[in-house]
A = this chain, B = another copy of it.
Amino acid sequence: MGVGCSSSLPPTVNNPHCSITFPHTSAHTNPTSNHLPINWLARAHLQKPTKSPISKRLFTLDSARKTPTLKCGRTAQMEIEGGSDSKPILDLHSLDDNLVQKMVYDALVWSSLHGLVVGDRNVQRSGTVPGVGMVHAPFALLPTVFPENQWKLACEVAPIFNELVDRVSLDGKFLQESLSRTKKVDAFTSRLLDIHSKMLEINKKEEIRLGLHRSDYMLDEKTKLLLQIELNTISTSFPGLGSVVSELHRSLLKNYGEHLGCDVNCTPSNDAANRFSEALAKAWIEYNNPKAVIMVVVQPEERNMGGHAIAVIYFRAGYAPTDYPSEAEWRARLLMEHSSAIKCPSISYHLTGTKKIQQELAKPNVLEKFIDNKEDIAKLRKCFAGLWSLDDADIVDTAIEKPHLFVMKPQREGGGNNIYGDDVREALLRLRKDGKEQNAAYILMQRIFPTDSATFLVRDGSCHKDHAVSELGIYGAYLRNKDKVIVNERSGYLMRTKVSSSNEGGVAAGFAVLDSLYLT
């Protein structure tokens, strides 16, 4: 199995060098990474997938103590895959500074040796030349405790969300109508809809459809529910680094587990990068042209189309207005959409990932249009946070009254633009004055108050302890050729953790450290 890129390059999935005209959002301005010159494709196949039986252990972080204590005990209903239920009750251990320092040291060495590195934004060259000015990626020293039942739910719904995206993407009318008012106030969505309209006009069919998604969740403290933040259908980031952090944590738990009283099997292994690569490779196989290549849209200013047939176009850029500084980029996007190449994502998949569609799908009786299985619908609903259009006068009244219970989300991708707290009231009052039209640029969402816990955050070689909140992303890969579903799976996960006080709500990637899970 191979995935070619250009005739002068060998057919391997690790070598997708081709690039076209999209000025990728400069990594310097992108808080998501320390301008990382290494994409997840290069990270694929680094990790051996390992079977990880999940055993249940009680694991709490006692944040009241200055030095947190990891308490591990046996739960009443211990379930160990293939094992007995007679594990001994674990003693309590205190996590002393000396042990923390040893673990930090080991973790930093491990990071250096296993590619858990990014370009250091303080070193100019690191943004363009790989292999220089590297620093470890920021990470949480230990995995974050997470309820296993919620993890299982998130895993279960991943393929249902994959299927949902596919079904919604086929309903051009639904997409156009749902976004018709957003179109008027959001220039970017409008341009995407224009491309989508043109495809509808010529009745363009995408027989092979590839989705590499990530559904993001937070655990709501009060309700103990795992609520969806958003569903990303384009340029889903961090499958590579996320996978490596899980391995780091598994390595630490393996070496220090006895001292911590923890079980390495409570941290699930994570092969998101490999799963995504395999899905890309399988899409290439479905395209069935051995000379065709996979094109990755990433680089600024590079306009080389190469003259090669393109089997798959993977968008690592193209999701933000700044990725289209001129008409040339829009023409290129249209050209790609016209082509027979498999787009990841197609314009329909891209639009299906908009917040407005997320909100539309949360309306009563909408999921039912796309999914038959009632159990599946119930599972998806369970993850839906409260989502409302600003046309809903009652909810707007409530939000003006209790703004801290809501988040206002603009249609724009990328996070960091959300409105919280008293700003919600102000924004709603201003919109009320300005007239209805601008309502469509936002949705209102229930504010999630995630559980916070003591965490050791490691950045730039230093460790500090703070209270932090986490966001869990579940990757999903979907590949379909006509009626044949070739891939529909959960493909690993991403846990990001940030200091609770560092900004309001959400886990803006720029402030977050990479993390993994400790299931209880």
Contacts and interface: CB of A to CB of B under 8 A. Distances in A.
A188 B38 CA distance: 48
Contact of A461 (B106, B115, B125, B256): B125
A108 interface: yes
Nearest to A98: B8
A432 B15 CA distance: 63
Interface in A449-500: 460-461
B135 A132 contact: yes
A289 interface: no
Copies of this subunit: 2
Contacts of A135: 131-134
Contact of A112 (B38, B254, B255, B256): B38
Nearest to A114: B115
A105 B9 CA distance: 13
A117 B112 contact: yes
A235 interface: no
Contact of A259 (B8, B115, B254): B8
Given A17-B102, A130-B461, A461-B131, A257 B113 contact: no
A92 interface: no
A443 B463 CA distance: 52
Contacts of A38: 109, 112-113
Nearest to A119: B112
Interface string A3-19: 00000111010110100
A8 B103 CA distance: 11
Interface string A112-138: 111101001000010001111111100
B131 A42 contact: no
A266 B111 CA distance: 31
Given A14-B255, A255-B12, A131 B111 contact: yes
A9 B102 contact: yes
B125 A132 contact: no
Interface in A3-48: 8-10, 12, 14-15, 17, 37-38, 42-43, 46
Interface string A422-439: 000000000000000000
Given A46-B113, A102-B17, A460 B130 contact: no
Interface in A58-103: 98-99, 102
Contact of A131 (B43, B112, B133): B112
Interface centre among A46, A115, A255, A259 (most CB of B within 10 A): A115
Interface of A: 8-10, 12, 14-15, 17, 37-38, 42-43, 46, 98-99, 102, 105-115, 117, 120, 125, 129-136, 254-259, 460-461
13 contacts: A8-B259, A9-B259, A10-B255, A10-B257, A10-B258, A37-B109, A42-B109, A42-B113, A108-B132, A112-B115, A112-B134, A113-B115, A117-B131
Which 6 residue pairs across A and B have the least CB separation, nearest first?
A108-B131, A113-B115, A131-B136, A108-B130, A129-B461, A134-B134
